[in-house]
Amino acid sequence: MAFPIENKLVVAVSSSALFDLSESDKVYNEHGLAEYRRYQEHNIDNPLSKGVAFPFVKRLLSFNEIFRDEQPVEVVLLSRNSPETGLRVFRTIAHYGLDISRASFFSGESPYKYLPAFNASLFLSASATDVRNACDAGYAAGRVLDSKIADDDSDNELRIAFDFDGVIADDESEKIYKEQGLSAFHRHESTTDAPLDPGPLADLLKKISNLQRLETARIDVDPTYRRWLKISIVTARNAPAHERVVNTLKSWGVEVTEAFFLGGISKDRVLEVMRPHIFFDDQMSHLNHLHNVPAVHIPMGIANE
């Protein structure tokens, strides 16, 4: 029976995004493939530690437990491991009780070209090369950055934060800022309220917003239901440039829970309070200050030229 993956929010993750593979990578880099295989076989029943994307993925999958009829989320593992060395990854998935059953193993090859086959709205990996390959091919992908992982099991809420220009929307306005400066950017934004074209993660945001609609429908029949999902925009824009953000999201039928128009205030001041389970930004200058926030770099657009 065909599986209707077209109707789901699909996120593809590498094992390096989901789990901490630093020790495994050290064995591979220092001793080669044969020793790496022996190491994984010897440790096959020793679960890997949680990686940067783990808190996000775990909570995203929880929506399948809440909405059992709809099953709105699918997480697919795309791994550079061989099927043999990938056994430890799948046993770790079972150890943590993650509802991930679909996977592909590529024995050292980059998996990006298979993203359309899974209808993935996002590919997460710790490999800069794999993420760049995916982005160059026009697919939405992000590199998870090293950060401290705080996965509080008592915290069921899923908090997702996005930068706006170059991430949710395209970088049309960001190009004006970079090429002509802040004054020209504000003049341009104050003379138009036309929605911006979608950026690399627009499809992801729209499908996450569908989860928000499921929660709204649940509240209509069960007023005691408490929302699990919180979507936030954290952008360097400020007034009057904020209106175009609002108009763009409205044109897509997307609502966010919070929006921060910071106008040069460092984003880490807000994010450290918010404690998102994942934050997406296209500029490393914004991400370099984050140490306790699971962060993802989107290496696309003018900010990365």
Question: What tokens were used for 18?
Answer: 């989901």
Contact 263, 238 (CB under 8 A): yes
Question: What tokens were used for 82?
Answer: 């061989």
Question: What tokens were used for 125?
Answer: 């990996």
Question: Does residue 165 have an active-site annotation?
Answer: no
Burial 166-184 (b: 16+ CB within 10 A, else e): bbbbbbebbbbbeeeeeee
Contact 111, 78 (CB under 8 A): yes
Q: Show Cβ contacts of residue 123 under 8 Å, excluding neighbours closer than 6 positions.
A: 11, 12, 13, 14, 78, 111, 112, 115, 130, 131, 134, 139, 140, 141, 142
Cα–Cα distance between 233 and 223 in angstroms, integer?
27
Cα–Cα distance between 14 and 301 in angstroms, integer?
23
**Four-residue CA torsion sign, 214, 255, 230, 100:** positive
3-class secondary structure, 41: helix
User: Which among 94, 85, 65, 76 has a CA at the least distance from the CA of 24?
Assistant: 85
- Please tell me which residue in 163, 170, 281, 282 is annotated as part of the active site: 163
Contact 212, 262 (CB under 8 A): no
Catalytic residues: 163
